[in-house]
Structure 1
Amino acid sequence: MSMVEQSLGQLARSIPGATQVFHEYELDFCCGGKKSLAEAAAQRSLDAAQIEARLIALAQNASPETDWGLASPAELIDHILERYHEVHRQQLPELIRLALKVEQVHADSPDCPTGLADHLRVMQQELESHMQKEEQVLFPMLARGHGAMATMPIRVMRMEHDDHGVALERLLALTNGVTLPRAACNTWRALYLGIRTFKEDLMAHIHLENNILFENAAGPAEPPAMQRTVG
């Protein structure tokens, strides 16, 4: 199967650096990860062959990095908790603080992202609720190898991931695609840099869960000696 026929999720989990290419072309590899590269490119009037060439070059020059598709559910969950759940909890309060300052100081500017702080607060509340459900209910089940029993919680988490995707679209709309105006102050620059990082982190986070952790959940349970609990 050629790369253009493979799904964005497959490519994102098999080629190191593919997610950055998808960010550049604004292709949704997390919530929209089941679409083929050809289909996703066509929807955005992009040249799939050009994107495929970038991915082939990455695959040929890839440096070794952790293949989370080969990790146990417990190992992947530990990574998600440390790299994404805790990081989001650090990112959002600072982004809200910066957004409030920009909105207050630049209220008269036509480029002012009015409503951004409120939207970030809503995202913080929704994401915190979502992460707590994963940490308290779903992740302990998956870490113990009980993925076959987790069909309904996984379905709910996938739906909430779709909601996060909609919230990201709203975030992009409020910030003009995270594009700074010419006269942006340092606070504004720090805000948009942080939003860009948060967006990329959240998409990578959802990708690992949707396309790897949840996809593998129906597989065989780990041997007892390998089972771990979420701390």
Structure 2
Amino acid sequence: MTEIVPDTTVAAIATELPGAAELFRRHGISFCCGGDIPLSMAAEQAGLVPAALIADLKALQQASGRDAPQETLALISHILTRYHAAHREELDWLIPLAQKVERVHGNHPSAPIGLSGTLAQLRDELESHMIKEEQVLFPMMQHGGSRMIAHPIAEMRSEHEDEAQHLQTIEHVTRGLALPEGACRSWTALYTGLRKFTDDLVVHMHLENEVLFPRFQSVS
């Protein structure tokens, strides 16, 4: 996990720490276009005391992962049912809904043009990623690990970075999931679903990067 200090960038925290993206949105801090600025500067621009923002982020860090099982086999099962299955189900309806909103509201200045394409690319990459975990990495972990496990773990960590880039793109094209005044039900449902999906994906990656994977680093 990236250390939360004044010089840490907004983007680094938003896509790694569960709840950080929503905290930033609440304070009007962008983690896509302006995400490369340090937390201290972002706080000052938003009219916040940097130390207070960092304290809130550290509180989120302390709370992260508490709702997940601690035992390794139970944690893997939790990831499979709570995140893998949910991602597949939600993307199945989020993509066509995004296509509808883009088609119907394409002339609106706040229309999320390009969102459906980004989601489709994320779906394809995420599906490949999850299959590799389900068929290769998790079975190795369920059998206690292996001296060969370092490579698949490193590959999954690298792919998580790609997924984080897609999250930043989603944040950009949706303007921070900000609905325009008078948004229709479809648009509202799309952003409500996206908020849950993106938050879930950050928690999913966090559980793997910070909780599950480190348990097997010493096995390799």
TM-score, with length taken from structure 2: 0.75
* Distance in 2 of aligned mates of 1:159 and 1:138: 14
Aligned residue type for 1:123 = L
Q: Which has the larger radius of gyration?
A: 1
Aligned residue type for 1:111 = S
**1:118 to 1:152, Cα distance in 2 relative to 1, 3 A:** same
Aligned residue type for 1:41 = L
CA contact (8 A) 2:94 2:194 kept: yes
**1:103 to 1:136, Cα distance in 2 relative to 1, 3 A:** same
Q: Secondary structure at the match of 1:19?
A: coil
CA contact (8 A) 2:91 2:123 kept: yes
Aligned residue type for 2:40 = A
1:206-227, CA deviations, whole angstroms, 9 ceiling, x for partnerless residues? 0000001111113569xxxxxx
Aligned to 2:140: 141
The within-5 A match list for 1:11-50 is 19-20=18-19, 23-25=22-24, 41-42=39-40, 44-45=42-43, 47-50=49-52
**Structural RMSD (CA):** 2.9
* Distance in 1 of aligned mates of 2:211 and 2:59: 24
Give 4+ residue runs of structure 1 displaced > 6 Å after superposition. 55-60
In structure 1, list runs of 5 or more residues that go unmatched: 9-17, 27-38, 222-231
* Residue 128 (structure 2) pairs with residue 129 (structure 1): yes
State the 1:119 CA deviation: 1.2
Aligned to 1:35: none
State the 1:121 CA deviation: 0.8
**1:162 to 1:220, Cα distance in 2 relative to 1, 3 A:** closer
The within-5 A match list for 1:49-128 is 49-51=51-53, 53-54=55-56, 66=67, 68=69, 70-72=70-72, 74-128=73-127
* Residue 157 (structure 2) pairs with residue 155 (structure 1): no
The range that moved more, 102-111 or 133-142, is 102-111
1:12-68, CA deviations, whole angstroms, 9 ceiling, x for partnerless residues? xxxxxx833563136xxxxxxxxxxxx9633644645314554787899x8xx5464
* Distance in 1 of aligned mates of 2:138 and 2:194: 27
**1:56 to 1:41, Cα distance in 2 relative to 1, 3 A:** closer
1:80-109, CA deviations, whole angstroms, 9 ceiling, x for partnerless residues? 000000000011011111111111111221
TM-score, with length taken from structure 1: 0.72
CA contact (8 A) 2:18 2:206 kept: no
Percent identity, aligned pairs only, is: 41
State the 1:190 CA deviation: 0.3
Q: Give the number of aligned pairs.
A: 191
State the 1:118 CA deviation: 1.4
CA contact (8 A) 1:42 1:48 kept: yes
